[in-house]
Amino acid sequence: MHLAPHVGRVVGLDLTRPMLLKAAELSSLRGIGNLDLVQGNVYSLPFGDETFDIVTSRRAPHHFPDLLEAVRSMKRVIKRGGVTIIEDRSVPEDDFVDRTMNELDLLHDRSHVRDYRPSEWRSVMGEAGLIVEGLETFTRIWPLSSLTDTAAPEDKKEIERRVRSLDEAERKRMGVFEIEGALQIRHWFVLVKARRL
């Protein structure tokens, strides 16, 4: 919906029908007329080769069981000279933070597979045959409730237990601190732009 005012046509794809119904409702409310919605799987995108100028994905790849296969599928539908732009959760090049954040994200959402490091994104894009033109990382500080609010009760307790059990050095690496008694935690993100030659 954010792209629609800037391009001739947008195709939104999701694996689940409820997400597409919600998108249709929102696009109707916003008066967006150049958005088509399609149900499909990232591994077998229901489009011909070299269909799109731009392929984007936002906050989805950390749910993909096979990231490389998903990126190869995206590349297939990009026209030569076109780009893919992906924004997703990430982790820094730190083994402890990588392991801990991925464990917390899995407790937060059991469909989570992996938050990838920037180096993993570069590797996957290259292996898929795309040229990385830009890779930016950024962080956000959010309340711990951003991980616990939608978690199952037992997972919520485990997230809170694990974060509270971090020692001072671990808390610093994870960006954990308190504001008025409420725990806050850093979240890492990556923005990747890659081109198909």
Q: What is the per-residue pLDDT across 85-108, written as a single tens digit (0 to 9) for each?
A: 999 999 999 999 999 999 999 999
User: 19 falls in which pLDDT band (50, 70, 90)?
Assistant: very high
pLDDT, position 144:
97
Q: How many CB atoms lie within 10 A of CB 111?
A: 8
Please give the CATH number for the structural domain made up of 41-195: 3.40.50.150
pLDDT, position 27:
95
pLDDT (average), residues 65-72: 97
Q: What is the per-residue pLDDT across 49-65, written as a single tens digit (0 to 9) for each?
A: 999 999 999 999 999 99
Parse the chain into domains and list their residue ranges: 41-195
pLDDT (average), residues 125-153: 97
Is 76 in a helix, a strand, or coil? Answer: helix
Phi and psi torsions of 145, nearest 5°: -60, -20
